[in-house]
Structure 1
Amino acid sequence: MTSELLDQALLDLALIEEATKKSGLVWVRGAEAPAARALWHVWHVWHEGAVCLVGDGPDEQPLPGLTAGGFAEVTVRGKDKGGRLVSWQATVSEPAPGSPEWEAAVAELKGKRLNAPDSEEMPARWARECRVLRLVPTGSVAPLPTGSLAQRPVPTPATTRKPVPAALPRLLTRRRKKK
């Protein structure tokens, strides 16, 4: 490997790490994701050179298409505007519950998990009911897309609300009388 290629690989890894550490949310596309919903937004932590995720259990985020030994594409958003900063390829691994790698990832994830119904029992519940995954960068940054990546919304039975009642704007803008 030439010096220039090595320097570029190190710069790519530094960009991946710095952007991913600062972003609380990433979009992930697993190699085996369903076609209807290829990109999923997930919360994560950056730990020991990888994105760590927990999900696929009750009260946790879905992780479709992410299988141990497979590949994933990770897209990191900017914290200030929420736009795409960098996309990169990763290998997916699933450490065995109770292994040192699993314990280290869970310790980091537990500290970042918001609104957990059972904060002290989380690691045991994750070991029983969920999957903890590590997405390790392969080292290369994908080029940013040139066109729009807009997709149709996922079909849903939800509907928009009915028209606003005519009197509501007057009620909302009416000032309170001083006492």
Structure 2
Amino acid sequence: MARKLRVLTVPNLITVSRMALLVPVVKGILAPEPKHSTFTLTALWASTDWVDGWFARRFDQQSRLGEIIDPIADRTGIAAVATALTASGSLPAVATATIAGTDVVAALGAGKAALEGRIHVSKVGKLRSLVMFVGMTALVAERSGYPELGKFGRATTLVGVVLHVYCGAKYVVDAFRTRPRRQRAVRG
């Protein structure tokens, strides 16, 4: 049980670093002509989602804090990068609006259940994040001088958006299914 209460772990540090990387990533995407370093930083940002999870499992550094902040870092990062890609003309606004809308509905409908540990990230949720990270990184690569990756990036990101909506709905349903039953007072 003590291991679940740990805060200062390498995976948590990696997750916090992923959030910090958002500033230069978004700034680079919004530049009129993003540099190759923007692509490199975006790829690094995206890969940290896999690295922190692998490290936590491999070295037994899972923690309750990590279970909470990792999805927050994912959602915040995906929303920020999608918004920057939309502002730069690389991603349709409807995709970013769908991501944001799904996140709001999921937070309102399943946030408490997630914080209470009643629901967890699913395998489809992990796949969704991977697809989104790959697609968005390809879109940044397109803006950084690799135009041949544009169609792949948009298609992959849009598949990720569909998976995002599915996962958001499933988390809300799972939260509803796992809600605690109210105890009825016994009358004498």
Structure with greater helix percent:
2
Do the two structures share a fold, i.e. TM-score over 0.5?
Answer: no
Structure with greater strand percent:
1
Query: Normalising by structure 1, what TM-score?
Result: 0.21
